[in-house]
Structure 1
Amino acid sequence: MGTKAKKALKKKSLKRVNAINNKPSEHAADFLSLEGGPGRKLPELKQLENSSPVLYIGRIPHGFYEKEMEAYFGQFGTIKRLRISRNKKTGKSRHFGFIEFESPEVAKIVADTMHNYLLFEHLLQVFVVPSEHVHPRLWKGFNYRYKPLDTL
């Protein structure tokens, strides 16, 4: 095959690729394929709408941990998730946590009732966190139960 034939073949394949890529489509290709065809479409990620609001609970006293919190706040309604922030090295509580209830009405009632509640000489600070401010990795490791070394 001569150089003229190679150039003609290359020009022909470029025209074919441009014709395929210039087709009007709803979504643009996420990347170009090496074979010259249209690019593969990546699946669109949908954000999960979380209707149940998250409560921030601050100034949690010493000794009021996951088990006690679940029992205490369970009197208001069913708890979906509960997480107390802890020090990674020592496992000690950082005195704040998050609770997610099944129902938004219950969460609002808990926030109104428990804000500035005196518990073990500490005033609890309870706020409803707006859903747009909830970090996606907030609940990473929420089901982990810390077991202190002294209670073997």
Structure 2
Amino acid sequence: MNIYLGNLNYRVRENDLRGLMEQFGIVKDARVVIDRETRRSRGFGFVEMESDDEARNAIETLNEQEFMGRNLIVKEAMPRPERPAGFERAQRYKEPQEY
């Protein structure tokens, strides 16, 4: 199961997330989302746990708990909504729109 962790301290790194979550089970992947331009944390990340039961336990235990000075938001990650590819999205601004 993939878990969303929000309201992260901007100093949190992937190994910090991994260490936090490994107390609940096997961590397959841990990522802190980084801003492309500033190269700084955007304050949220994702952890993929091997077991759904372990992931649910982590969510229940850690949500609203303090970690590195901030209260975490921890919940099951939702799939990203489908978005048109860049070229397709740009085309809608070039073609006349009918309303």
Name the structure where strand makes up a greater proportion of residues. 2
The alignment covers a number of residue pairs equal to: 81
Q: 2:79 aligns with which of 108, 122, 134?
A: 134
2:9 matched to 1:64? Answer: no
Q: Distance in 1 between matches of 2:3 and 2:35?
A: 20
Which consecutive residues of structure 1, in runs of 5 or more, have no partner in the other structure? Answer: 1-52, 137-152
Relative contact order (alpha carbons < 8 A, sep ≥ 6): 1 or 2 greater?
Answer: 2
TM-score (norm. length: structure 1): 0.50
Q: Distance in 2 between matches of 1:99 and 1:76?
A: 12
Aligned with 2:19: secondary structure? helix
TM-score (norm. length: structure 2): 0.74
Counterpart of 1:74, as a letter, is E
Quote the sequence identity (%): 27
Aligned with 2:12: secondary structure? coil
Q: Which has the greater radius of gyration?
A: 1
Q: Distance in 2 between matches of 1:82 and 1:98?
A: 6
2:38 matched to 1:90? Answer: yes
Q: Is the 8 A contact 2:11 2:41 kept in 1?
A: no
Aligned equivalent of 1:105: 53
Q: CA deviation at 1:121?
A: 2.5
Aligned equivalent of 1:124: 72
Structure 1 runs of 4+ off > 3 angstroms? none
Q: 1:74 aligns with which of 22, 47, 51?
A: 22
